[in-house]
């Protein structure tokens, strides 16, 4: 199901923004873009999302910004500065150099500065902000998906009702059709065989067998049950996407069987209409969680 959610969280000059976009998919696929220093948290963030979603393709974008304070976001690594200074003094004494030690000499080592992101306390603060922003984004996303879900529920129910009405038309055509079918089969077989000495009892038995093979009562009963279960699955609070997908396949199976067994142009016309409606349902079911 498509949707969009955005969440923010701020603390101590840090601001985390999380945006989640969801697209239709039969499976769960989560793609996350995190700042480099928090990439090791990707699995935890996926687990956080999986508590709220079961199906769909999700693109998650995380951004962290810092309030401008006029101070550079780096600090001096005092331990390394002292170590390098001691090393340089020993080098001067060994080489007999009288030139005084300068800052330039120390800064020739590229790792005397560290960014504040390397501080574990700040990293933890940022991660907590990301989690809070993600929860807000998921909440907004689910609200949007709920609104879309309400419209989708209405559409699915209308289409299922349409198939159910079509089934009523099929049943109306088949009522009282058994005797007519037997009569036509009886006449057709006699025309094909053209044998005056034909065993009438044997002929009647063959006609009954053929008429029974054309009977669609069991299929219509099962189809009616599948339609009922479909509506019940929509109404339940738990995720029903996979169940609806299965029921769609079963409905299609019964429609195919009815169409092939009925051997009637009127019934075939109604079955085609029902399958067209079912194909639209199949596409929509892919959007259901």
Do 125 and 13 form a contact (C-beta atoms < 8 A)?
Answer: no
Element (H, E) at 188: helix 177-193
Cβ neighbours of 33 (radius 10 Å): 12
Nearest to 76 by CA among 100, 101, 103: 103
Give residue 274's pLDDT. 92
pLDDT digits (tens, 9 = 90+) for 22-48: 887 777 899 999 988 888 999 999 999
Side-chain-side CA neighbours of residue 152 (13 Å): 23
Tell me the average confidence (pLDDT) per consecutive run of 10 residues in the chain, 289 residues long. 87 90 83 89 92 87 75 77 89 85 84 69 89 93 82 88 90 70 65 61 61 74 92 83 89 89 80 91 77
Give residue 257's pLDDT. 87
What is the percent of the chain where pLDDT is above 90? Answer: 30
């Amino acid at each position: 199901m498509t949707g969009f959610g955005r969440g923010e969280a701020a603390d101590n000059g840090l601001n985390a923004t999380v945006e989640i976009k969801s697209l239709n998919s039969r499976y769960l696929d989560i793609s996350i873009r995190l700042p480099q220093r928090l990439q090791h948290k990707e699995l935890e963030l996926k687990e956080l999302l999986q508590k709220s979603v079961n199906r769909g393709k999700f693109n998650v974008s995380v951004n962290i910004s810092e309030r401008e304070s006029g101070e550079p976001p780096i600090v001096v690594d005092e331990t390394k500065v002292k170590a390098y200074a001691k090393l340089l003094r020993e080098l001067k004494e060994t080489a007999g150099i009288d030139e005084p030690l300068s800052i330039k000499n120390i800064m020739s080592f590229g790792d005397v500065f560290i960014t504040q992101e390397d501080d574990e306390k700040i990293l933890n603060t940022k991660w907590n902000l990301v989690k809070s922003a993600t929860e807000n984004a998921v909440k907004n996303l689910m609200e949007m998906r709920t609104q879309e879900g309400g419209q989708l529920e209405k559409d699915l129910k209308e289409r299922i009702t349409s198939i159910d009405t079509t089934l009523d038309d099929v049943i109306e055509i088949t009522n009282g059709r058994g005797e007519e079918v037997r009569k036509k089969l009886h006449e057709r077989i006699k025309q094909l065989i053209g044998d005056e000495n034909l065993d009438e009892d044997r002929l009647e038995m063959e006609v009954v067998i053929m008429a029974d093979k054309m009977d669609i009562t069991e299929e219509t009963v099962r189809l009616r049950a599948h339609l009922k279960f479909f509506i019940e699955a929509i109404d339940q609070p738990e995720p029903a996407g996979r169940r609806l997908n299965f029921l769609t396949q079963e409905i299609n199976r019964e429609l195919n069987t009815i169409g092939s067994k009925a051997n009637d142009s009127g019934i075939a016309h109604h079955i085609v209409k029902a399958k067209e409606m079912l194909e639209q349902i199949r596409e929509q079911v892919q959007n259901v969680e």
